[in-house]
Amino acid sequence: MLKRLPDTTERARQELRLQIMLGSPLMATKGYAGSETMQAYMRARELCQQLGEQDFFVLFGLCVICVVRSEHERALEMAEQMLPLAESLGDPVKLLQTHWTLGLILHYLGDMSRALEHLERTIGFYDQQNYRSQLFLYGADAGVLTRAYAARVLWILGYPERAREMVRSASVLAEKVRHPMSLAVTLSALVTLDASCGDERVAQKGAEDLIVLSREQGLPFYLSVGTIWSGWALAMQGQYKAGLAQLRDGIDRYRAIGSELARTSYLALLAEALGEAGQLGDGLNVLAEALTMVGLTGERFYEAELHRLKGELLLMQVTGEKDRVSTEALRTRSAERPAISAAETCFLRAIDIAHQQEAKGWELRAVMSLHRLRIKQGKQKESRQLLREILDWFTEGFDTADLREARALLEDSAATSL
């Protein structure tokens, strides 16, 4: 109807409001970076330029699109423009959204401590009564979004129990608002955390719930995410054919709606599943693709784990066995020494990256991988000290798979050295 009106300033303002209102439901139904979503926000930006104004919610929408397209540096520039605008307005809603956006972007860039700082500030701004009316702008409840991402950052930083508590808090909020996207965000966070803590069966059930919800509500982004996690969980439980098929289908669906965000992590899941299935060459090719993406996009939150998995697959490739390389192969097969050296370099690189990012969750896994290699090389003294130091750092989450394995590995290597 607006197209029939004269091209006046008032008509432009009315269209701007409508394009902003269209943005959020389009994110949900067409994907965060879908062509129709982008069209709405790009048109909104044109109208802002025509009016000689800067609109906070247009910046926010474009910022989210850039994040989902893995254009993180560009997204960070926009978020940094949002902050002084929000501060000058003194609007707690805009301050909340700005700090959430900064936390989100910094998390993907691998700056975990700063990401958590912004996300925790966001929680401080949240008031459920005030923000229910803002769902149409954000796509999901702001309190749910913040807690979901804070949980992921907390796990990476080495606080599994705090991460679980954060997800529980997000679940309570999501149940109160009963908003489809908010529920999907929470389910996705739960699946990610369950998988990270080593509970594939629970993660699979959560992924299936996410798939059902996404199909019922028409949420293509979370349908693809659920499919990816379900495939990974199946493969990790030995159902390689079905799991790998689901994983690949989920990744294809994800890219079909314009999403590149976190694809490095989803490729890591595919590579890990391929390794479990004994398809080591394919797994290494997938990791090479993911590491190339890290360099192109700057998405570094999974970088340490990519290097660790590469080292594990290189070792498995030495003997062609599914389980890790034998001591005999390490000590007697000189032809395999370059691959063994390359794997060792991968583990050391993973430890260094994780240490720089303060990512204790990733660092623990990388130190365990290095220590297992050192044991087979008969050089475990130094790596055992590394493992003891990082294990001593943890103050919670001792029931998680990684910490249980680390403790057992330390005890076994100590007994062996006696």
Instruction: Give the tens place of pLDDT for each residue, 34-86.
Output: 778 878 888 888 887 888 877 778 888 888 888 888 889 989 998 998 898 88
User: Could you count the other beta carbons within 10 Å of the beta carbon of residue 35?
Assistant: 12
User: What is the phi/psi pair of residue 279, to 5°?
Assistant: -95, 70
**Local confidence band at 131 (pLDDT 50, 70, 90 cut-offs):** low
Q: What is the CA radius of gyration of the chain?
A: 23
* Structure confidence at residue 338 (pLDDT): 84
Q: Is the dihedral of CA 301, 221, 20, 139 positive or negative?
A: negative
Q: In 3-state terms, what secondary structure has residue 324?
A: coil
Distance CA 409, CA 382 (A): 14
Half-sphere exposure of 171 (CA within 13 A, CB side): 13
Which domains does the chain show, CATH number per domain? 7-125 (1.25.40.10), 141-230 (1.25.40.10), 305-394+405-418 (no CATH)
Q: DSSP per residue over 137-205, as a string?
A: HHSS-HHHHHHHHHHHHHHHHT-HHHHHHHHHHHHHHHHHHT-HHHHHHHHHHHHHHHHHTT-HHHHHH
Percent of the chain with pLDDT over 70: 91
Q: Model confidence over 337-373: pLDDT tens digits? A: 788 999 999 999 999 999 999 999 999 999 999 999 9
- pTM value? 0.87
Task: Choose between 349 and 131: higher pLDDT.
Answer: 349
